[in-house]
């Protein structure tokens, strides 16, 4: 069988899964943006999962490349809000009934991505009905996050990371630690002695920076299109998204900037 562009990318199958339900012109835009975002998130999970494995194996340089790639992917995700924001309130209102109770809150890939990076909340697993999804998210909660593996690497390099941050219940978000912040202060104060850790720290900050831009873009797009209506999945809409923007992944890496 000859492999062609269409067959390699499985375009016949791919291009038939955009199936608007309302007959409204702009629903294809809505479906395409969200399906494309899920594909980008699949790639983010692929890259960050391998980056985490490399960090755990003390193989930092390839992890840096993978994390840099994810930041570029995040830029694509942020830009997608600009396209979706061309949908007016009237456009959205015309098709909103076709969404039923579906909501971006129910994106298991987005939730897994947050879990991988370290923003963990076991209660979020219950949002999903599918046993396979629940099992995958529960498995992710049981293992160290990308940031947990980074702190373990710091400890292996001789930095005094507290023992309670190295072995703990990884399903829970750890409270910010002044001792961990002090470790990062050492890295930032002596970059030539800890160059790969210094670069790793900046790649983590890049990831957080782009996630926060994505969250803010989501907030402003929702505000622009539906105002302060309740979200389709039952969330509070804009007020809920505003609270999410305040959540941090790597607090010590942000706090250390004040103390440097």
Which whole number is the average pLDDT over 146-156? 98
Q: What is the DSSP string of the chain?
A: ----HHHHTTHHHHTT----SS--TTHHHHHHHHHHHHHHHHHHHHHHHHHHHHHHTT-HHHHHHHHHHHHHHHHHHHHHHHHHTTS-HHHHHHHGGGGTT--GGG-HHHHHHHHHHT---GGGGGG---HHHHHHHHHHHHS--HHHHHHHHHHHTT----HHHHSS-TTSPPPP-HHHHHHHHHHHH-TTTSHHHHHHHHHHHHHHHHHHHHHHHHHHHHHHHHTTPPPTTSS-SHHHHHHHHT--S-HHHHHHHHH-
pLDDT category at 225 given cuts 50, 70, 90 is: confident
pLDDT score for 103: 82
Q: Is 31 annotated as a binding residue?
A: yes
Residue with more model confidence, 48 or 246: 48
33 annotated as belonging to a binding site for a ligand: yes
pLDDT at 70 over 70: yes
Cα–Cα separations (whole angstroms), residue 128 to 59, 91, 98, 116, 124: 35, 29, 20, 17, 8
Q: Is 34 annotated as a binding residue?
A: yes
**What's this model's pTM, rounded to 2 decimal places?**
0.92
Q: How confident is the model at residue 227 (pLDDT cuts 50, 70, 90)?
A: confident
Segment 54-72 mean pLDDT: 98
What's the mean pLDDT in 197-202? 98
Q: Is 73 annotated as a binding residue?
A: no
Whether the pLDDT of residue 194 is over 90: the answer is yes
Check the annotation: does 216 bind a ligand.
Answer: no
Asked if the model's pLDDT at residue 166 lies above 70, the reply is yes
pLDDT confidence bin for 241, thresholds 50/70/90: confident
Going by C-alpha positions, the residue among 50, 47, 51 that lies closest to residue 73 is 47
**Is residue 258 part of an annotated ligand binding site?**
no
Mean pLDDT of the region 227-240: 68
- pLDDT of residue 246 exceeding 90: no
pLDDT value at position 134? 96
70 is in an annotated binding site: no
């Amino acid at each position: 069988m000859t492999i062609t562009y269409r067959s390699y990318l499985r375009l016949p199958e791919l291009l038939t899964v955009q199936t608007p339900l309302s007959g409204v012109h702009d629903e294809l835009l809505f479906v395409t943006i969200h399906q494309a975002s899920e594909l980008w998130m699949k790639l983010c999970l692929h890259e960050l999962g391998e980056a985490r494995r490399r960090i755990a194996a003390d193989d930092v340089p390839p992890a840096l490349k993978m994390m840099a790639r994810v930041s570029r992917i995040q830029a694509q995700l942020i830009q997608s809000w600009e396209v979706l924001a061309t949908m007016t309130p009237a456009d959205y209102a015309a098709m909103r009934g076709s969404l039923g109770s579906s909501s971006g809150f129910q994106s298991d890939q987005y939730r897994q991505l947050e879990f991988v990076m370290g923003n963990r909340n076991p209660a979020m697993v219950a949002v999903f009905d599918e046993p396979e999804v629940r099992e995958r998210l529960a498995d992710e909660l049981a293992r160290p996050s990308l940031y947990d593996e980074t702190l373990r690497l710091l400890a292996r390099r001789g930095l005094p990371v507290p023992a309670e941050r190295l072995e703990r219940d990884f399903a829970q978000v750890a409270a910010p630690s002044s001792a961990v912040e002090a470790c990062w202060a050492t890295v930032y104060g002596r970059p030539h002695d800890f160059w790969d850790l210094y670069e790793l720290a900046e790649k983590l900050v890049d990831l957080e920076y782009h996630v926060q831009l994505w969250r803010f873009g989501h907030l402003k797009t929702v505000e622009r299109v539906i105002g302060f209506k309740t979200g389709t999945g039952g969330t509070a809409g804009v007020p809920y998204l505003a609270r999410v923007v305040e959540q941090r992944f790597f607090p010590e890496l942000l706090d250390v900037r004040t103390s440097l």
